């Protein structure tokens, strides 16, 4: 069933195109204190823990707001006020972690490798050796601004070896890239409803090592972003502190069931990878170039250089694609003009082929032939 007739597909890194059944799951009103809703919350938390193979060692704490709220809440709850964070930056989301720490008054240092180059485990090792006052390392799993996958496993091993605490922003990775808490030593891993699990936006969550969270009382600078307090309250009465996004949580449970039915993380990884391969091959055929070499392309989102042709105008390109049913995403590079195409959400071969046809037609209309000369 084509459920999105007349609605454009979102080729963005969230919000993404959701299934009709996920949308339909919002057609009820729940009492935030009611047992029916508390059961939904409990099942969501448990399913997320299971997806990360984190049952028994970690707990899942959801928090109202977009993904950045969950990142800020996790940092503010786990990093004590006299802590010091090493932030690994290679794009906008790493930079945002630094900015959040500035706002909440936590000391931090950065390894900034620019627009996309990934930080290496050796660099992190050296930085931790050189500065024993660093208590935490913060890292982005898939840096959605370029689409690159950072070497999370290597860096996690180094952080653990140095006895520091690792916080991973896995916003655009969790649900599509295998993450096993028993093999990947993290203290916190953060994601949100509207990325690879394909829910609608409205809350984020952190999967936090329980023994670490237990020690975090009193760290938070913000009442509404205190994950320790949210966790304690939820454990006590099954409810969220303050009004939860009830419809969003209920539809997220439906999205989790559909994720499982698709084959879980492996199923989703397979579909997103196929979307990427088909999209990248088709775009290259039209003459576009990717920012990253093949080995770094993630199944989440790909950055393409904008054509240097004088008659290319991103706004015109964007509007023309939108008129044909596809919403693309602007680039976030400081060095070169670019745009991004997401591979996540309810997208399949038919939508990818539709997009490629639309791009070809729009280039024609703009009188641009990237394969000429």
Ligand X SMILES: *Cc1c(COP(=O)(O)O)cnc(C)c1O
Q: Sign of torsion, CA 27 29 35 41?
A: positive
Would you say 221 and 81 are in contact if contact means Cβ atoms under 8 Å apart?
Answer: yes
Which one among 68, 74, 219, 303 touches ligand X, defined by CB under 6 A?
68
Question: What stretch of H or E contains 271?
Answer: helix 264-285
The alpha carbon of residue 338 and the mean position of all alpha carbons in its chain are separated, in whole angstroms, by 20
Stretch that binds ligand X, among 47-55, 63-71, 74-82, 228-236 (CB under 6 A): 63-71
Stretch that binds ligand X, among 45-53, 165-173, 271-279, 307-315 (CB under 6 A): 165-173
Which one among 62, 67, 118, 202 touches ligand X, defined by CB under 6 A?
67
Using CB under 6 A, count the residues that bind ligand X. 13
159 or 300: whose CB is closer to ligand X?
300
Stretch that binds ligand X, among 16-24, 32-40, 65-73, 269-277 (CB under 6 A): 65-73
Query: What residues between 349 and 368 interact with ligand X by CB under 6 A?
Result: none
Residue nearest ligand X by beta-carbon distance:
67
Q: Sign of torsion, CA 253 257 262 264?
A: positive
Strand locations in 292-372 (E): 301-305, 326-327, 329-330, 338-342
Q: What is the dihedral of CA 352, 357, 361, 364, to 10 degrees?
A: 100
- Contact between 169 and ligand X by CB under 6 A: the answer reads yes
174 or 304: whose CB is closer to ligand X?
174
> Shortest gap between Cβ of 137 and ligand X (angstroms)?
16
Stretch that binds ligand X, among 39-47, 66-74, 180-188, 230-238 (CB under 6 A): 66-74
- Contact between 93 and ligand X by CB under 6 A: the answer reads yes
Query: What residues between 117 and 156 interact with ligand X by CB under 6 A?
Result: 140, 144
Would you say 188 and 52 are in contact if contact means Cβ atoms under 8 Å apart?
Answer: no
Q: How far apart are CA 191 and CA 26, in angstroms?
A: 21
Helix axes 349-365, 264-285, angle to 10 degrees: 20
- Contact between 342 and ligand X by CB under 6 A: the answer reads no
Site residues for ligand X per CB under 6 A: 13-14, 66-68, 71, 93, 140, 144, 169, 171-172, 192
């Amino acid at each position: 069933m084509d459920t999105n007739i007349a609605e454009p597909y979102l080729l963005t890194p969230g919000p993404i195109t959701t299934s009709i059944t996920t949308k339909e799951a919002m057609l009820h009103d729940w009492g935030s204190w009611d047992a029916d809703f508390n059961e939904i919350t409990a099942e969501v938390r448990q399913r997320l823990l299971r997806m990360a193979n984190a049952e028994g060692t970690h707990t899942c704490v959801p928090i109202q707001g977009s993904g950045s709220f969950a990142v800020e809440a996790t940092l503010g709850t786990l990093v004590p006020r006299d802590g010091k964070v090493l932030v690994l930056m290679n794009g906008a989301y790493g930079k945002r972690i630094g900015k959040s720490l500035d706002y909440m008054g936590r000391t931090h240092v950065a390894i900034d490798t620019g627009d996309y180059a990934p930080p290496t485990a050796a660099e992190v090792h050296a930085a931790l050796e050189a500065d024993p006052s660093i208590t935490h390392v913060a890292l982005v799993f898939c840096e959605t601004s370029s689409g690159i996958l950072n070497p999370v496993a290597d860096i996690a091993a180094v952080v653990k070896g140095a006895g520091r605490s690792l916080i991973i922003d896995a916003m655009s990775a969790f649900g599509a890239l295998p993450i096993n808490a028993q093999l990947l030593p993290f203290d916190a891993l953060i994601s949100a409803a509207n990325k690879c699990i394909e829910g609608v936006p409205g809350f984020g969550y952190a999967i936090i090592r329980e023994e670490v969270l237990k020690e975090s009382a009193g760290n938070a600078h913000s009442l509404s972003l205190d994950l320790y307090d949210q966790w304690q309250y939820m454990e006590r009465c099954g409810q969220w502190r303050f009004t939860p996004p009830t419809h969003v949580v209920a539809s997220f449970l439906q999205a989790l069931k559909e994720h499982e039915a698709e084959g879980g993380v492996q199923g989703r990884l397979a579909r997103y990878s196929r979307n990427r391969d088909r999209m990248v091959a088709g775009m290259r055929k039209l003459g576009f170039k990717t920012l990253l070499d093949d080995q770094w392309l993630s199944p989440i989102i790909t950055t393409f250089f904008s054509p240097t042709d004088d008659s290319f105008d991103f706004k015109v390109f964007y509007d023309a694609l939108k008129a044909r049913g596809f919403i693309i995403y602007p680039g976030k590079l400081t060095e070169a003009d670019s745009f991004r195409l997401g591979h996540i959400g309810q997208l399949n071969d038919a939508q990818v082929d539709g997009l490629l046809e639309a791009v070809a037609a729009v280039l024609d209309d703009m009188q641009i032939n990237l394969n000429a000369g």
